[in-house]
Amino acid sequence: MSGNRRLPVACGVDIGSTNVKVIALDSAGRIMARASRPTPRDDEQLSIDATVLFASIEEMLIEVCRDSFVLVAVSCAGVGEDGILVDERLRPLTQALAWFDPRRQRIFRALRPALGADESFDAESDAVRTLIGWAWARMQAVQGEARSWVAIADFAGALWSGSAFMSDTLASRTGAWRSCDRRWAEDRVKLTLGAVHLLPPVVPAGSIVGRLDSPTLHAAGVLAPDALVVAGGHDHPIGGWAADQLTPGAVLDSMGTAEVVVAQSPDGRIDRKSHLEVAPGILSSGTTLLRVEELSRNLNWAAQDPAVAAAIKALMDGTAAPAPVLDSGYFLPGARGGQTPSYALDAPSDPHARASAVLGALAYLGRDAVDAVLGGLGRPSEVRLAGGWVRAAGWLGIKTEVNTYPTVPILEPEVTAVGTALLAATALGWTPDPHLSLGVR
């Protein structure tokens, strides 16, 4: 297909903890192509090298466009708390401290007395927050002068547009920003990052950041001359927004590396309770409600015992029924920020019982998270299930046994990547059909 006959596409990039996904949509909202690669990390599978990540994203955009499509807009979403210091040319000076890196716990313990007990921020003050990454970055020896902090999810967009920015849903993850007045807590910023001027402008998700300039994409012939960079942000709110496009008011229960329960609320501000976190609403004046619980790290810890791993597999695929210990408390899930899971002292040694207790504890965590979000909404809502775990029949059976509400699955495996592509398409003025994008009729 010749260059002037390429079909315009809007692309969404989802930088996940495990994989990076790219989705290309046409103006109607049909998925035209997709790609996926492992998220590039260091030898310990913790820190991300942003330069390697950026090169991988551009390669994936070329892969999805091939000789058939031309990129007219791109938006990136991703893990909420990872970021880097950059110099005046936006070159990385540090690696990104992963949100699950256990080194965060030590830094948080040292900072906790100075942070106080202020609960007015969008997210709870714990080891996961971006401000812990700020403090860690200042401890690193860097070559060059730091001019700005850039979130990993925003890094590609910053390079393409030539200016640093921060999507507002990522500002909500820092532990130093309140969406109610869209202002930084300067005392927290100075304590951890050192200076407020290192923070870039905060922009709403879905807003146009600037023109997309990429010599690599231009040389490959896949870049339209007026292509746009559109702000994405935190992956979880964008996935919830995508579900909300299908069914207004829906709650998304997405199960992958973590279990994320998220919904769009029309209310402008909701006080956090039941460990709820908030962020600005996407393309609205409302609020995003979310709660996050760890899944994969807990499962991987239990699966270090080969017998328990085999029992978990049988339970997940439905070839074995769970033992009557789902709500026994025998398994104590690890907290966010790297705290280690454990078994209770009275937990049985039988692998099948232990596997059942692990999956039961995780199912109850998910139910509590959905109940918290529904309570924040203050109204009944449809709950839609998404993520890789949706395809595990045995896990869905355990969820059904534990839950007290009906659920509807979304079988599209990359809801966040699709949602980010929908944001890019909407910024162009297109009116994509989310039912086409998410495979729902």
Domains, the chain, in order of start with CATH, read 3-235+414-437 (3.30.420.40)
Please report where in the chains the tokens 């500002």 appear, as a residue.
171
Q: Provide the residue-wise pLDDT of the chain in tens; the chain has 441 residues.
A: 444 589 999 999 999 888 999 999 999 999 999 999 999 887 776 788 899 999 999 999 999 999 999 999 999 999 888 999 999 999 999 989 988 888 899 999 999 999 987 878 998 889 999 999 999 999 987 878 999 999 999 999 999 999 999 999 999 999 999 998 899 999 999 999 999 999 999 999 999 999 999 999 999 999 999 999 999 999 999 999 999 999 899 999 999 888 999 999 988 767 667 788 999 999 999 999 999 888 988 999 999 999 999 999 999 999 999 999 999 999 999 876 557 899 999 999 999 999 999 999 999 999 999 999 998 888 888 999 998 899 899 999 999 999 988 888 898 999 999 999 999 999 999 999 999 999 764
Q: How far apart are CA 112 and CA 108, in angstroms?
A: 6
- Does the pTM exceed 0.85? yes
- CA 208 to CA 231: how far, in whole Å? 6
**Cβ–Cβ < 8 Å for 366, 356:** no
Nearest to 61 by CA among 439, 417, 419, 435: 417
Q: Which one-letter amino acid corresponds to residue 214?
A: S
| Cβ–Cβ under 8 Å, residues 87 and 145 | yes
